[in-house]
Amino acid sequence: MAATRTAPPVVIGVDSSTQSTKAAVVDLATGSVRAVGRAAHTVTGEDGARESEPEQWWSALRAAVAEALATAAAPPSSVIGIAVAGQQHGLVVLDRSGRPLRPAVLWNDTRSAPQAAGLAVALGGPGQWLARTGSVPVASMTATTWQWLRAHEPSVAESAAAVRLPHDYLTERLCGVAVTDPGDASGTCWYDTANHAYDPEILRLIGLDTALLPTVAASGATPVGTLTPQAAGALGLPSGVAVAAGTGDNMAAAVGLGLGGAGLLDHPVVSLGTSGTVFAATRTRPAAPGLAGFAAADGTHLPLGCTLNCAQAVDRFAGLLGLDREDSVPGDGVVVLPYLDGERTPDLPHATGLVTGLRHTTTPRAILGAAYEGAAFTVLRALDDLLTACGLDPSDPAVRDRPLRLIGGGAQGRAWRETIGRLSGRPLVIPAETELVALGAAALAASAATGEDPVGLAATWGAGRGETLPAVARDEETWHRIDSVLARAAPSLLS
């Protein structure tokens, strides 16, 4: 009788983002992505509001996992681990049965700007927030959203039996355990990144009982349980599949790239998606206004700058102009500050978009190019702030010549690559693997199942390698033109 051939083990990494869920089936031994399933989310709201129904995240997770397994032709018995990486900061409030009391308030909801301003001066001022949490409260941080909920929907806040982040909510649906990780917890502004625990004084300040919060696991790789029978049935998987604590999407992307803070600063990353983010893994704990002092999934630190307006804002300009997103040329004297949803870095929650420098000769393609430039400038200036906070001089040639890793959906676009390259003057590395958040979650799942270090495992998978684009001369003229316009416009944008 012929021996039964056993399917090679795989893990599932889930990327539950603002707009969609993606589930990647990843080969344990090689890290190759065998298939990716996708399911869209619906985001509602206007005038600064951005909300989603948490139940749709669960439905999307189920659909994405089913599609990925079917496409990969992976038998359920071959799956040994699963982990979720989720959009950061979102506020999910649950009743005693674990059902959402209202739609989740998302990270790019800016209605809590007044609460953020109030919190920033509380507790002794911004310096105390930086010392404790690594971040100063801004609209989108979960603590400010919780304060907004208490002010505007007090009955909901009083009825809450549990408070979760998006990835916590999904992890709990998988394994029945209320758990988070230091990386995602560090985006709440109620987690002390120096002492690795919830801050009791901040929780008292915002009227939040620790009993409502999930336990903080030691790291995003910690196995926190296995699939419950209900979750296993919903996903068509064995109930013994290991579930990792998971992490936030930015932390998962760092894991997927194999970044672990080996030195002072490990490979600066620019991510171009709905939002634009810059981050780097480091062993130091930088704390600077305008940056989020996040923890990383491996116990190091992941300082991050985030802009609300990136690829989605530029696509909006393309739509208004009737152009394809790639049909752009440099701005030719036009400046666009594409702050269509307010802005986070810089902290201008009530800002609106600005276009200046138009002439009779200005073309729609140049206006679109200026929108790219404005978004790229905002992201790259946040990168300079990050480098400075880590003790590096952004103008030092030895620092400026270091490559940037360019990830996210925008990294695949010609216009984004050319604009980032031109305004940064740096070489760019475009990783071959595009689903880095899902891949990082898969590395966490593999770690939960095998005990291996997730960052080291992802590094052996090699997802951070890819095409290198040589540096071009930095466009100093465009940089200084945008900087000058922003300096003049900032006071009015604040109102």
- Please list the active-site residues: 249
140 Cβ contact partners less than 8 Å away, ≥ 6 residues apart? 89, 107, 108, 109, 110, 112, 308, 344
In this structure, the strands spanning 33-40 and 179-180 are: unpaired
d(CA 298, CA 250): 13
Q: Which residue type does 75 have?
A: P
Strand ranges, E, within 124-234:
162-164, 179-180, 191-192, 197-198, 215-216, 223-226
Strand partners for 139: 141
Q: Which residue type does 192 have?
A: D
Strand ranges, E, within 154-222:
162-164, 179-180, 191-192, 197-198, 215-216
Strand partners for 272: 276
For residues 340 and 316, is the Cβ–Cβ distance under 8 A? yes
For residues 66 and 237, is the Cβ–Cβ distance under 8 A? no
Match 């998006």 to its residue by tokens.
Answer: 166
Token couple for 171: 């992890």
For residues 459 and 258, is the Cβ–Cβ distance under 8 A? yes
d(CA 285, CA 236): 42
Could you tell me the CA-to-CA distances from 491 to 28, 350, 488 in Å, in that order? Answer: 52, 11, 7
d(CA 288, CA 383): 12
Query: How big is the chain by its Cα radius of gyration, in Å?
Result: 22
